[in-house]
Amino acid sequence: MLSLSFYISIAPVSASDTNPQRMFMNIILSIRWNLLLALCGLCWAALATAQDTASLARELVSIKGGYIEKKKQLEELRIRAYLPILLKAVGKGPAWKPGHPNWAETEQRIHTEWRKLYLDHHTRIGRDTGYGWMDEALARDYARAFSADELGALNVFYRSPAGSAVLALEKEFLGFYPQEMQRSLARVMLGVETFSARERELFRSPESRARREFIELFESELMVHAESLRIGSPYVDANASLVQQGALATAADSIDALRRKLDAATLNEVHAFLKSELGRKERVFLGAALPLVTPPDEDPARAKEAEATFYLGLQQLSAQWRELAAKPTNK
């Protein structure tokens, strides 16, 4: 590029060309060419950087893997976590709790119709609930939030033995923990089930702190925990800590099995990464990005229209559920 620029700058001005006006115009022309080439060079550099960033972001999502499954887990958590909220909202008085004559029928009706309403909403938006679009959409958001150097460093960590170990264990973690958080949320809100004697002991155990610190290695724990509390608010605000403590108690054996698979040296390396500026930045990013990420081609206007239809449908169903909950019973 430099040699071409230099050639253009001198070629129009011949040594035998002594016409002052023509020489002046040639000099102006050469300056314009140089400015144009410099601008093109900057544009190509920016384009190359953008392409590098996008490529590194796709590589990162590919290395980490499992985001389609994580999205499915998160959406299933949303569906299930809202069930006790909806069930609590449609009944009246202190008698409305498990054991009420209309409780089981109302619960089953809400379970079926709420799930259908939620999934139909995604269909109206045009959003594939198989979440095949997830990796591309998340890579897009990574490329917007991180520089090429940062993405390169993330790739290095997740390819390392320590990063690979955490990714492998997280897949096992996702096999049980979201369900335990959902159970704990329902327990705190409704008291629909109680701890066994051993679970009560585990709930109070000092070892719960070590288990909590361990599960915080997994990015999905942050998302599951935050989403559970968001959905449960304001019903669980005063007892928010009990939601995680309950899940730690009922999942204690499974968590301990994972803890035994990670040696101290690897654990220290993972902690060092998570405490780094880049590690903290990625956790903040994922806490916001994964719950809200949308397909690259989703139409915002269509989504807004579908949302209005969704809330109208929920109002109509809620009226029917309230009627069912209030149905006269034989005493």
Structure tokens at 314: 């929920």
What is the pLDDT averaged over residues 47-67? 82
pLDDT digits (tens, 9 = 90+) for 201-238: 888 888 999 999 999 999 989 888 888 888 877 777 77
pLDDT digits (tens, 9 = 90+) for 164-181: 999 999 999 999 999 998
pLDDT at res. 25: 54
Looking at the chain, which runs of residues are DSSP E strands?
none
State how far the alpha carbon of 287 is from the alpha carbons of 46, 98, 127, 150, 178, in Å.
Answer: 29, 34, 21, 18, 15
Residues contacting residue 119 through CB under 8 Å, at least 6 positions apart: 129
Cβ atoms within 10 A of the Cβ of 211, count? 22
Burial class (CB in 10 A: 0-12, 13-18, 19+), 114: buried
CA angle 273–245–220, rounded 5-degree value: 40
- Dihedral angle computed from the Cα positions of residues 154, 157, 162 and 163, in that order, rounded to the nearest 10 degrees: 30
pLDDT digits (tens, 9 = 90+) for 1-43: 333 333 233 334 444 445 555 555 545 544 544 544 444 444 4
Q: Could you tell me how far CA 324 lies from the centroid of its own chain?
A: 36
Q: Is the Cβ–Cβ distance between 283 and 219 less than 8 Å?
A: yes
Tokens 């928010």 sit on residue: 240
Q: Is 1 helix (H, G, I), strand (E, B) or coil?
A: coil
CA–CA separation, 292 and 230 (whole Å)? 13
Question: pLDDT category, 149, cuts 50, 70, 90?
Answer: very high
User: DSSP letters along 213-248, please?
Assistant: HHHTTSHHHHHHHHHHHHHHTTTTGGGHHHHHHHHH
Q: Could you tell me how far CA 167 lies from the centroid of its own chain?
A: 15
Q: What does the buried/exposed string (b/e) look like for 213-241 if buried means 16 or more CB atoms within 10 Å of the residue's CB?
A: ebbebbbbbbbbbebbbebbeebbeeeee
* Alpha carbon distance, N-terminus to C-terminus of the chain: 90
pTM to 2 decimal places: 0.74
pLDDT digits (tens, 9 = 90+) for 263-290: 999 999 999 999 999 999 999 998 888 7
Q: Is the pLDDT of residue 96 over 70?
A: yes
Tokens 């990015």 sit on residue: 219
CA–CA separation, 226 and 48 (whole Å)? 37
Burial class (CB in 10 A: 0-12, 13-18, 19+), 273: buried
Tokens 């035998």 sit on residue: 16
- Whole-number percent of the chain with pLDDT over 70: 83
